[in-house]
Amino acid sequence: MLGFAESNEDPGNIEDLFNYLKRLYSGEVKSLNEAKLLLVGQGSVGKTSLVKQLMEGTYNPSEPQTDGLTVCTWGIHVNSKDVRLNVWDFGGQEIYHATHQFFLTKRSLYLLVCNCRTSEDENRIEYWLKLIQSFGSESPVIIVGNKKDEQPFDINRKALREKYPNIRAILETSCQSGDGIEELQEAITKEVGQLHDVYNLLPLSWFEVKEQLEALDKDFISYSEYIGICYQNQIPEEHNQTQLIDLLHNLGLVLNFRDHSFLQNTNVLNPAWVTEGIYALLSDETLKTKSKGILTYDDLSRVLNPQRYPGDRHRYLTELMQEFQLCFELPDCPCPRFLIPGLLPKDEPEDIGLEGDTLEFQYHYRILPESVLSRFIVLSYEKIHSQTCWRSGVMLAYYEGDEVCNIARVKADPEDKKIFISINGRETTRRVFLALIRDTFTKIHKSFADLEVTEWVPVPDHPDHPPLDYQELLGLEGMGEQTVTIGKLRLRLNLRQILDGYEPVEARRQPDLKERGLDMEERYGDIHIYQGSRTTHQHGSGDNVAGDLVQGDKNTPASE
């Protein structure tokens, strides 16, 4: 019974529960019989064709690619009951991936559609499974190898099932011939019947609110308008109002972020309103070429249709993009300006070399989500040095007073699934700066479910030799080992000397400091040096921020 027994929310007071049970036994309830089906995968794998074959039994060989998102409804018969599926067909082009996170919800059914003609890596199967895992939790997944008439689906089924237990089936289809479509329909029907909330009994008044919202010919309404509709249908309790909006959000009927102080004031009734607005910004050539990813409210007025996107809703889009770390607001600007890391130039700047000795650190990923480096740039904007950043990298500065102590270069190699960190400058503050950088990456990594990432450090004086596993070195030290042996180089290295360059021995011996309430400043006594100087290194005028960021002026102090 949704709303009390199975909700993570506070169940409300006894009177609310009594009233709900009274409605239940008086017959003023209705079975939900509704669920959400999401199709994800790379572009051109045939997601839209698959939807049309499933729903209509039709095939169009010239089916155009989906731009952004298409939502439709599909009536199926499950366990002798009619169930409405809200089917979400996502565009697979790379530019759209960043906005999928707005809509991926728990307790939904996912179809991960692949192309039988391409490899497991080209289909990026684990990338999509990780994305579903991060935002959809343990929601069931059916993997569909499409275009089986052209080639069999060659993937490691057993390994994927062992690693991702939420995979319910791996099937092959051909939209052209219709082969495998009936089997897929049966699998979908079976999984929908087992979804957690499909048959929940809801008060009739909740359905009346739901139907009233669906009948509105609007892209969005204010939260106060939603509350008014609730009152019209005898739902005055705040607990029931928030519970209902959560349900509608998970069903894909409404987009609501009620935990966000600004976003909570708007209920999006048409999800395409969000995707089309943000995709229009991400696709704008002026923002890509001339502005180099710098977005202003003038750009929103220029790019977006004023009738569909009135000026008083522009902030909703920028807040949403900031909430999901697609952009961040540049500081000290008289008029708001935002940097969209995904629109930064792809070309790596010429002059990003670091003088002198450097401290090197690496992250290696099984799957490197595209948003990791972008989110790192967003979260590190106060440290950006000379406004130098590009699509896959950024230069950061560590200050002590007015002096630049260290410069860091952080860059990603998406093909090798690695991120490289190099820090030069004052030796005594290098590891403090590295600790700050690592702390930011740790926060990002923890936001992904079961992200497989390892830490590596180079062999001293042998940069071309494969790096050493940092956690392995810590483990050896914890076992009392004093050296690490590299037979290929005939080297026996001092273990403590290597590790001292990265973390103080006290920090290494007490890995549970954070759990005991000690923060970074207590772990590294001088860490406050940079943080205390943030206000010292700011642009005198926000008018130059965009230009500096585009040009990468090396004489400009670090942006705060």
Half-sphere exposure of 209 (CA within 13 A, CB side): 26
Among 242, 209, 244, which residue's Cα sits nearest to residue 228? 209
The letter for the amino acid at 72 is C
CA separation for the pair 189, 80 (Å, rounded)? 11
Half-sphere exposure of 127 (CA within 13 A, CB side): 23
Among 104, 408, 99, 375, which residue's Cα sits nearest to residue 250? 104
- Six token digits for residue 144: 């569909």
Query: CB–CB of 372/366 below 8 Å?
Result: no
Strand partners, 294: 339
User: Is residue 14 exposed (0-12), middle (13-18) or buried (19+ Cβ within 10 Å)?
Assistant: exposed
**Tokens 């391409």 belong to residue:** 118
Query: CB–CB of 8/239 below 8 Å?
Result: no
Sign of the C-alpha dihedral computed for residues 306, 271, 133 and 315 taken in this order: positive
Among 122, 32, 19, which residue's Cα sits nearest to residue 85? 32
User: Is residue 84 exposed (0-12), middle (13-18) or buried (19+ Cβ within 10 Å)?
Assistant: middle
Query: CB–CB of 21/4 below 8 Å?
Result: no
| pLDDT confidence of residue 532 | 35
In this structure, the dihedral spanned by the alpha carbons of residues 534, 535, 539 and 541, taken in order and rounded to 10 degrees, is 150
Residues 6+ apart with CB under 8 A from 546: 291, 294, 330, 337
To which H or E segment does residue 471 belong?
A: helix 470-478
| pLDDT confidence of residue 379 | 86
The letter for the amino acid at 23 is R
CA separation for the pair 44, 115 (Å, rounded)? 8
Distances (CA, A) of 400 to 92, 211, 435, 453: 46, 60, 16, 32
Query: CB–CB of 36/28 below 8 Å?
Result: no
Query: What DSSP line would sit under 115-144, residue for residue?
Result: ETTS-HHHHTHHHHHHHHHHHHTT--EEEE
**Over its length of 560 residues, how does the chain's per-residue pLDDT go in tens digits?**
444 334 444 444 576 566 556 655 655 788 889 999 999 999 889 999 999 999 999 999 888 877 778 889 999 999 889 999 999 988 777 666 777 777 888 889 999 999 999 988 889 999 899 888 878 888 999 999 999 998 999 999 999 999 999 999 999 999 999 999 999 999 999 999 999 788 888 888 899 999 999 999 999 999 999 999 999 998 998 888 988 998 888 888 888 887 788 888 898 888 889 888 998 998 899 998 888 889 999 999 999 999 999 999 999 999 988 887 788 888 777 889 998 888 888 899 998 999 999 999 999 998 888 789 988 988 898 899 998 999 999 999 999 988 999 999 999 999 899 999 999 999 989 999 999 999 999 999 998 767 889 999 999 999 999 999 999 999 999 999 999 999 999 999 999 999 999 998 888 876 544 443 445 545 555 444 333 333 333 333 333 333 344 333 333 333 33
| pLDDT confidence of residue 471 | 94
| pLDDT confidence of residue 4 | 39
CA–chain centroid gap for 486, Å, is: 39
Query: What DSSP line would sit under 485-521, residue for residue?
Result: EEGGGTEEEEHHHHHHTTS-HHHHH-TTTTTTT--HH
Phi-psi region at 485: left, alpha or beta (left = phi > 0; alpha = psi -120 to 50): beta
First to last CA, the chain: 50
CA angle 256–260–266, rounded 5-degree value = 40
Residues 6+ apart with CB under 8 A from 112: 40, 41, 125, 128, 129, 132, 141, 142, 143, 144
**Residue 92 DSSP SS3:** coil
Distances (CA, A) of 108 to 50, 89, 166: 18, 14, 12
| pLDDT confidence of residue 256 | 87
Distances (CA, A) of 138 to 38, 130, 211, 319, 541: 14, 11, 29, 28, 49
CA separation for the pair 465, 144 (Å, rounded)? 41
